[in-house]
Structure 1
Amino acid sequence: MTLPIHIWERGYRFTSASYVNKYLHDHYETLALPNPTLQARDKSTAFMYYLEHGKSYYSLSSTSPLEIKPLLLFYGLTHLLKAALLTVDPFYPDSTSVLAHGVSTRKKKKQQYLFFQDEVKIQRNGLCTHLSEKLFHVKQLENKKISMGDLMECLPELDKLFYYFRPTKGTTSVTVNGDTLLMPSNISIQDIKESFGDDLEIKWNNNMISIQRYNKHLVFPIRSHSDTDIYIPSKLSYIHFLPHLIIHYLLLYNLSMIARYETEWWGNLIRSSPTHDYPLIQSFLQSTLYSGPSLIFDYLESNQEKNPLLE
């Protein structure tokens, strides 16, 4: 299976050095960063290469065997995330502490290991926390332990598959009408206020909750599965406030580690598919092949929309 061309068509303009230079310059100027002209000129080439190399990894992963697919997808997403990072942080990497992945997992898996029950731990330093803070303004993630099952349940693209393995759905569909969100009234108002902030206008209408002045660039806990399908977790916890891209990063990190260091378990999973792990992992790898680049371009385009100089 090859990647649909339209995903990468969204990034064609970033293959122009003059466009990228202006794109970065205007962002750095808007952020009041020092020497925006110099910084943009210095980082334009790195920005373009991160996108180009990321695309190469994704292209290879689309036709690669499952055994190595997690490795290619993880490094593909990492390169795309670094490109996005340069739009807000021209000094990356300013120290060796941000070069590590910023995540750890149990190296030796226990007997009867299940991926769904496995955990990753977010480190104080490293790319994961740096991305979360710089791109999404999410802090205080260090030392958090998060299970793979909880991460997967955050993804609406896996919800239909999960339904075969558990009785309840992890996400609830919401409707977007301009700057208004409509969602079922069984979702806690307190959860909504904590999710979106107290300054929103919340109304009830025909058993639906209407949220006015919705910001279309809001990242959490909204999840998008396509241009028209928008979801919110049925029950909210701090995990649901992780940015969508960070969820993909954490899942791919652990899967890439397993593909590298847990060869016997990984091989058995692929060959015999003994548990629910296999269809969930397979479905995730298939969906992240498309949603990873799409989410990156959503981020880059949202930055462009906020800056009229680039329209």
Structure 2
Amino acid sequence: MTNQGLAFLTYLKSTAHTREYLHYCYRHHGEEQAKLLAYENAERFSYGLQLGEEFLTAAEQTPFSVKPLLYYYSLTHFLKSCIVTVDPEYPSTSKVLAHGLSTRKRKKQHYRFLEDEIRIQPHGLFPYAAASLFHITSFPNKVSMDHLLQPLDFMKPIYHYKQKTSINEPFFPDLASSFAVLYNLSMLVRYEGEWWGEMIQLRDREDYVFIHHFLASIPEQIYDLTSNWLKNQSPY
């Protein structure tokens, strides 16, 4: 994480600073009760950032095999705090609390992670975050891991060594793409233990190096992408 990103997230740990920050965000979005809403949401916003950071810290002490779960939960909390800055009533309905993504539970016999696809659901955290944070309301029916990973700047060095590949135009901003990839990895940990365990132990699948590089890079990316998005909403 860059020092600038770290400094801003540290600054927002104080509810006094958080109220000021949210007050600005809500005024910018035309909320009539901006000051009251900022006061009501300050602790919820700060606690989301705290939980996101604590999941990342916990991941540092856990085996590689379970890291995707903790990274996914970390980014989930960071995203929810981001949403609070533009939607003070979040969550207004139970529909927005689901993942908003789905994947095939039973994998094919010769399953390859890079070819695996996720489907974007009409309701849930992913589509709501995409609309609220990035104004994206139209989605493809499904998207592969390869198409999500290739355009990420921090994945380009490892893709450089992959033959016959071309960098695709990104489907989503990096924050959204990273969340979608972490969702799928967390599902593998939860429901495909045999495949996941063999991949880690044997390291004989091409998928391994791409997954390993992604997971090695993602803690810093979560911090930086979150802090950059939050800072872009403020006058700081």
| SS of structure 2 residue aligned to 1:146 | strand
Pick one of 108, 123, 126 that aligns with 1:125: 123
CA distance in structure 2 between the aligned counterparts of 1:4 and 1:159, rounded to whole angstroms: 20
The structure carrying a bigger helix percent of its residues is 2
Residue number in structure 1 paired with 2:144:
147
Counterpart check, 1:110 vs 2:40: no
Q: Where in structure 2 are there 5+ consecutive unaligned residues? A: none
1:119/1:147 contact within 8 Å kept: yes
Pick one of 253, 262, 269 that aligns with 2:192: 262
2:69/2:186 contact within 8 Å kept: yes
Counterpart check, 1:253 vs 2:183: yes
Identity among equivalent positions (%) equals 35
Residue number in structure 2 paired with 1:292:
222
Counterpart check, 1:61 vs 2:47: no
Summarize the Cα distance change of 1:4–1:300 in structure 2 as closer, same or farther, 3 Å threshold: closer
Summarize the Cα distance change of 1:294–1:31 in structure 2 as closer, same or farther, 3 Å threshold: same
The total of aligned residue pairs comes to 236
Larger relative contact order (Cα-Cα within 8 Å, sequence gap ≥ 6): 2
Alignment of 1:1-311 (within 5 A): 8-141=6-139, 144-168=141-165, 170=167, 235-236=168-169, 240-304=170-234, 307=235, 311=236
Q: Which stretch of the first structure deviates more once superposed, 261-270 or 59-68?
A: 59-68
CA distance in structure 1 between the aligned counterparts of 2:79 and 2:227, rounded to whole angstroms: 10
TM-aligned CA deviation for residue 272 of structure 1: 0.2
CA distance in structure 1 between the aligned counterparts of 2:66 and 2:36, rounded to whole angstroms: 40
CA distance in structure 2 between the aligned counterparts of 1:100 and 1:47, rounded to whole angstroms: 19
Corresponding letter in the other structure for 2:146: G
Summarize the Cα distance change of 1:139–1:4 in structure 2 as closer, same or farther, 3 Å threshold: closer
Residue number in structure 2 paired with 1:226:
none
The structure carrying a bigger strand percent of its residues is 1
TM-aligned CA deviation for residue 251 of structure 1: 0.2
TM-aligned CA deviation for residue 80 of structure 1: 0.6
CA distance in structure 2 between the aligned counterparts of 1:4 and 1:111, rounded to whole angstroms: 42
| SS of structure 1 residue aligned to 2:12 | helix
TM-aligned CA deviation for residue 74 of structure 1: 0.3
Summarize the Cα distance change of 1:255–1:169 in structure 2 as closer, same or farther, 3 Å threshold: same
| SS of structure 1 residue aligned to 2:229 | helix
Q: Where in structure 1 are there 5+ consecutive unaligned residues? A: 171-234
